[in-house]
């Protein structure tokens, strides 16, 4: 079927900018994973760095991981979206440059200025450090986040411009004419639908995030400029939750684009697909109060909204994507290699990781579980075995010259090591949560330590497997940059 909405430019090898994003992502991811391992080993009493270092590393790990997930997700989105719309390379590179500036500011704030108020920088903690860090350190941290946020705002504005130039408006890019009218088969491809959703929610979240960061920066130097603490918390959680959720909605584009190339079957944006993305566009913006269910000071209606929407939003995109993947893989004769395996397992990781959040989203459960390691158990599952697996799958796909070659023994070991390591690591968090082990504690009680030790072992396996993926990707970089033909579906003709 050839049609106006689906016609795309042929896929090229990765752009230099995409490779720069991925190399940055690989380096930061590995560094942050090592920090995570050190934190887990501290809790396991295998090493002894002390609480100050623990919280500094926790701050870097939280901010670094969330930021780098955004960068990696943006690389996936940009790489595939430019087949359909005209994106600006300059803006894409500017976002990476601003990200790196922000990273240097955050590193300086934490490593030189001892800032350790966590990536959630809750008001008024940055300005009330009780002598633990200076005003300048807090300003550098929040300024760094602001610079990174500005980069992402520019990127999404450019994506918005390009999508509107091609499809006329967001409603058409989300496939509303086909969703609410007759499905004439001309709905935009999944990549465009997903990118539109991410652009809408992330622009909203980033503007709110930049506003609260600016307000807190002013408050830092002009304390009489007081901020309502509850409003500040709501704004920070809205921004943080939308941003981290958006990373997986960008990364899943790799699944929509690459699995069809392996199975020679199209991924169609049918009515159910379009309905689920539209529903999530709205719900992702109203779900964040499920992080605030313990805050009695929030209005009850907000908490009820968090509870109900938390339940509802768990399913649409996940089910549609999981079902879609099963359908295009079933009896397709797919060739399983590192990329296709990682992309397929990523859907399992996403689904499995959503379940603990679904349980924790129940108010009565939340009151007991939310401040335990159950919550890191939830988000590490969907981010590591979901989001990061999608990114590693994308890297592996880019670096592969010939789809017919088999993976090396080391490659297969890396895949199974990553999968088993992540499951063991996240289950150790979840089990600790079930045992009421508190979250964000540098020092653990003796009875918690056995779980921490098991968790540390699996975490080391995850780091080792990730190192192998990354070395493999870097060694194939030259190849990924080349403009080589792929055994792929040509969008616009085959679809
Ligand atoms: C080898 C991989 C990883 C290890 C060993 C690791 C380890 C840890 C540990 C020990 C904590 C503190 C848990 C607590 O006591 O509350 C933590 C928190 C966190 N991790 Fe990871 N992690 C890994 C990967 C990731 C990834 C891939 C992401 C996101 C893409 C991520 C995002 C976070 C966030 C947002 C926090 C919360 C920080 C906070 O509470 O302020 N981690 N991680």
Would you list the domain boundaries of the chain? 16-480
Whole-Å CA distances, 483 to 13, 14, 21, 489: 4, 8, 18, 16
385 within 8 A of 346, measured Cβ to Cβ: yes
Q: Is there an atom of ligand 1 within 6 Å of 463 CB?
A: yes
Size of the chain, expressed as the number of residues it contains: 495
> Whose alpha carbon is nearest atom 24 of ligand 1?
33
Long-range contact set of residues 263-268: C-beta below 8 Å, sequence gap at least 24: 263/328, 263/329, 263/332, 263/333, 263/334, 264/332, 264/489, 264/494, 265/328, 265/332, 266/328, 266/489, 266/494, 266/495, 267/190, 267/324, 267/328, 268/495
Gap between the Cα atoms of 418 and 241, Å rounded: 26
The CATH code of domain 16-480 reads: 1.20.210.10
Structure tokens that stand for 111 in this block: 């490593």
CA of 88 to the centre of ligand 1 (A): 33
**Does 297 sit behind a cis peptide bond, omega within 30 degrees of 0 on the bond before it?**
no
pLDDT at 408: 87
CA of 41 to the centre of ligand 1 (A): 13
Residue 299, C-beta contacts closer than 8 angstroms, at least 6 positions apart: none
Beta bridge partners of 438: 372
Q: Average of pLDDT values for 437-452?
A: 97
> Whose alpha carbon is nearest atom 33 of ligand 1?
62
> Whose alpha carbon is nearest atom 2 of ligand 1?
33
pLDDT at 381: 97
235 within 8 A of 209, measured Cβ to Cβ: yes
pLDDT at 478: 67
Q: In this model, does residue 287 exceed pLDDT 50?
A: yes
pLDDT at 486: 41
Among residues 231, 220, 242, 332, which one has the least CA distance to residue 287?
242
Q: Is there an atom of ligand 1 within 6 Å of 439 CB?
A: yes
What is the SS3 assignment for 65?
A: helix
pLDDT at 469: 95
Closest ligand 1 atom number to CA of residue 384: 27
Listed range (128-142, 153-167, 221-235, 349-363) with the worst mean pLDDT: 349-363
Gap between the Cα atoms of 92 and 21, Å rounded: 9
> Whose alpha carbon is nearest atom 36 of ligand 1?
62
Indicate the top mutation candidate among 42, 61, 141, 244 to test ligand 1's pocket, ranked by most ligand atoms within 8 A of CB: 61
Listed range (64-73, 297-306, 391-400, 461-470) with the worst mean pLDDT: 297-306
> Whose alpha carbon is nearest atom 10 of ligand 1?
40
Task: Spell 129-158 as b/e; 16+ CB within 10 A means b.
Answer: beeebeeebbbbbbbbbbbbbbbbbbbbeb
pLDDT at 49: 97
φ/ψ bin of 83: left (φ > 0), alpha (ψ from -120 to 50), beta (otherwise): alpha
Gap between the Cα atoms of 14 and 20, Å rounded: 10
Rg, Å, the chain Cα set? 22
At residue 8 the predicted structure's pLDDT band, cuts being 50, 70 and 90, is: very low
More confident residue, 308 or 403: 308
72 within 8 A of 96, measured Cβ to Cβ: no
Positive or negative, the CA dihedral 71, 76, 78, 81 is negative
Angle between helices 229-251 and 190-221 (to 10 degrees): 150
Q: Is there an atom of ligand 1 within 6 Å of 437 CB?
A: no
Q: Is there an atom of ligand 1 within 6 Å of 383 CB?
A: yes
Q: Is there an atom of ligand 1 within 6 Å of 116 CB?
A: no
74 within 8 A of 63, measured Cβ to Cβ: no
Closest ligand 1 atom number to CA of residue 119: 41
> Whose alpha carbon is nearest atom 11 of ligand 1?
36
Listed range (119-133, 180-194, 327-341) with the worst mean pLDDT: 327-341
How far is Cα of residue 322 from the mean position of the Cα atoms in its chain? Answer: 18
pLDDT digits (tens, 9 = 90+) for 219-257: 999 999 999 999 999 999 999 999 999 999 999 999 999
Q: Average of pLDDT values for 24-31?
A: 98
> Whose alpha carbon is nearest atom 13 of ligand 1?
440
Angle between helices 190-221 and 253-263 (to 10 degrees): 160
């Amino acid at each position: 079927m050839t049609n106006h909405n689906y016609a795309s430019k042929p896929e090229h090898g990765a752009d230099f900018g995409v490779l720069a994003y991925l190399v940055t992502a690989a380096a930061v991811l590995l560094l942050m994973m090592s920090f995570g391992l050190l934190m887990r080993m501290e809790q396991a009493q295998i090493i002894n760095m002390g609480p100050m270092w623990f919280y500094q590393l926790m701050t870097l790990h939280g901010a670094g991981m969330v930021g780098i997930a955004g960068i990696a997700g943006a690389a996936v989105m940009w790489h595939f979206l430019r087949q359909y719309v005209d994106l600006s390379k300059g803006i894409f590179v500017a976002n990476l440059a601003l990200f790196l500036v922000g990273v240097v500011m955050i590193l300086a704030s934490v490593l030189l200025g001892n800032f350790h108020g966590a990536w959630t920088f809750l008001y008024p903690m940055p300005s009330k450090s009780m002598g633990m860090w200076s005003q300048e350190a807090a300003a550098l941290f929040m300024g760094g986040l602001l610079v990174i946020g500005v980069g992402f705002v520019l990127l999404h504005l450019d994506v918005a411009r390009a999508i509107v130039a091609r499809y006329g408006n967001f409603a058409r890019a989300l496939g509303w004419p086909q969703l609410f009218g007759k499905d004439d088969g001309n709905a935009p491809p999944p990549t465009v639908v997903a990118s539109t959703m991410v652009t809408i929610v992330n622009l909203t979240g980033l503007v709110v995030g930049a506003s609260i960061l600016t307000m807190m920066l002013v408050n830092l130097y002009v304390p009489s400029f007081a901020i309502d603490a509850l409003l500040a918390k709501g704004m920070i959680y809205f921004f943080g939750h939308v941003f981290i959720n958006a990373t997986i909605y960008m990364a899943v584009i790799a699944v929509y684009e690459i699995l069809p190339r392996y199975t020679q079957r199209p991924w169609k944006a049918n009515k159910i697909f379009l309905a689920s993305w539209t529903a999530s566009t709205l719900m992702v913006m109203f779900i964040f109060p499920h992080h605030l269910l313990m805050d009695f000071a929030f209005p009850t209606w907000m908490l009820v909204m968090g509870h109900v929407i938390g339940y509802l939003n768990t399913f649409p995109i996940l089910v549609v994507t999981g079902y879609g993947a099963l359908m295009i893989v079933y009896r397709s004769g797919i060739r399983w290699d590192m990329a296709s395996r990682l992309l397929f397992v990523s859907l399992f990781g996403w689904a499995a990781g959503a379940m603990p959040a679904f349980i924790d989203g129940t108010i009565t459960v939340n009151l007991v579980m939310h401040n335990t390691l159950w919550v890191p158990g939830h988000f590490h599952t969907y981010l590591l075995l979901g989001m990061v697996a999608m990114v590693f799958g994308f890297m592996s796909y880019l670096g592969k010259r010939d789809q017919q070659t088999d993976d090396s023994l080391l490659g297969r070991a890396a895949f199974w090591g990553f999968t088993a390591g992540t499951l063991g690591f996240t289950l150790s968090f979840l089990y600790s949560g079930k045992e009421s082990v508190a979250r964000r504690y540098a020092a653990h009680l003796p009875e918690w330590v056995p779980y921490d030790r098991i968790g540390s072992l699996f975490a080391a396996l995850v780091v080792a497997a990730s190192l192998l993926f990354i070395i493999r990707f870097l060694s194939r970089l030259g190849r990924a940059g080349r403009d080589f033909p792929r055994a792929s579906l040509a969008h616009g003709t085959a679809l």
